[in-house]
Chain A
Amino acid sequence: MEDAELAQRAVRGDPEAFGSLIDRHGLAARRAARAILRDEDDADDAVQEGMLAAWRAIERFDPARPFRPWLMRIVVNAALDARRRSKVRQAEPIAETLESGGLAPDRMAEAALLRARIDAGLAELPERQRIALVLFDAEGWGHADIAAALGVPEGTVRSYVFHARRAMRQSLGTLAEGMK
């Protein structure tokens, strides 16, 4: 079933349809929130807050428009709000989640270094560049959808992705080649 049909059912008050949409977009929302907040508990709370806000506002969703950017915009805003609220707190590093089991010690060290480089690269990016990079390269979104989610022109998204990729290239260097 397409997003549009599930969204229409959700608009009519079908919680199961909304649950299916959560299954489809929940993890992408989590990755975007983690790109903004970089603390996994805060990010998870922000995604939950965003999903609840979307559910409460579902009657205002226009089924003629794509659901994914509408949902992601709410989640991104929830994460940005959470970031503003917790600005005084020191951001904690993201927990170790990259699969490295079964690797030889030298490869494990390399994987740890790669994680550190990704974290450092993401941390150096301006917030919106980071979100655009994650949605474009990790989630495979088109520029138009990202533009709708961030509320900026499509050309701005292209610029965000361009600068973010260049910065990540500098941060990762040739290290990522060895992880294939």
Chain B
Amino acid sequence: MTMSPFDNQPDPELGRLLRERLTGPAPEAFLRRLRLAVAAERADQWDVLAGWARPRVLAAAIAAGFFLWLGAWFTQSAIHDDPGITMAATLPAQTVVSSQAPAVDDIMLALRERGPR
């Protein structure tokens, strides 16, 4: 053992003694224990993530469905409430597609057929 305090290189003999003294029993089992602990930690992380995700994914799906339905409902209402579209639906086809203005009689006939709202 050189044991010089001024030596800038590791002392192999002192290093060996320290390693033997401090390594401890069953080093392979110890490393396995560490790896298992990390693997278990990772599994826990996924469980937490999955536990967090499931109800939120469900809530998001329900919300998306609701908004889709709401959007469709508004669109339908807007179509039904548009007097131009409603009127066009009751006018004779030749009146709607014609390039000329409809005759007053055609409009009155359509209004009579539609009846009061």
Which residues of A are at the interface with B, using a C-beta cutoff of 8 A? 15, 18-19, 22-23, 26-27, 30-31, 34-35, 40, 43-44, 47-48, 51-52, 55-56, 94-95, 97-99, 114-115, 118-119, 122, 133-134, 136-140, 161-163, 165-166, 168-169, 172, 176-177, 179-180
Closest to A169 in B: B3
A27 and B18 contacting across the interface, CB-CB below 8 Å: no
Q: Which residues of A contact B56 (CB under 8 A)?
A: none
**Given contacts A27-B27, A31-B22, are A22 and B34 in contact (CB under 8 A)?**
yes
Kindly supply a per-residue 1/0 record for chain B positions 25-40, scoring 1 wherever the CB is within 8 Å of any chain A CB and 0 otherwise: 1010011011101110
B14 and A165 contacting across the interface, CB-CB below 8 Å: yes
Q: Which residues of B contact A23 (CB under 8 A)?
A: 31, 35
> Which of A98, A122, A134, A177 contacts B20, CB < 8 Å?
A98
> Which of B15, B25, B31, B42 contacts A22, CB < 8 Å?
B31
**Given contacts A22-B38, A165-B14, A176-B13, are A134 and B1 in contact (CB under 8 A)?**
no
**Given contacts A26-B30, A136-B10, are A55 and B24 in contact (CB under 8 A)?**
no
For the side of the interface on B, what is the size category?
Answer: 20 to 34
B24 and A162 contacting across the interface, CB-CB below 8 Å: no
**Given contacts A165-B14, A176-B14, are A26 and B34 in contact (CB under 8 A)?**
yes
**Given contacts A19-B35, A140-B15, A176-B1, are A118 and B27 in contact (CB under 8 A)?**
no
A30 and B41 contacting across the interface, CB-CB below 8 Å: no
Q: Which residues of A contact B15 (CB under 8 A)?
A: 137-140
Roughly how many angstroms separate A179 CA and B14 CA in the complex, as a whole number?
11
Roughly how many angstroms separate A173 CA and B90 CA in the complex, as a whole number?
113
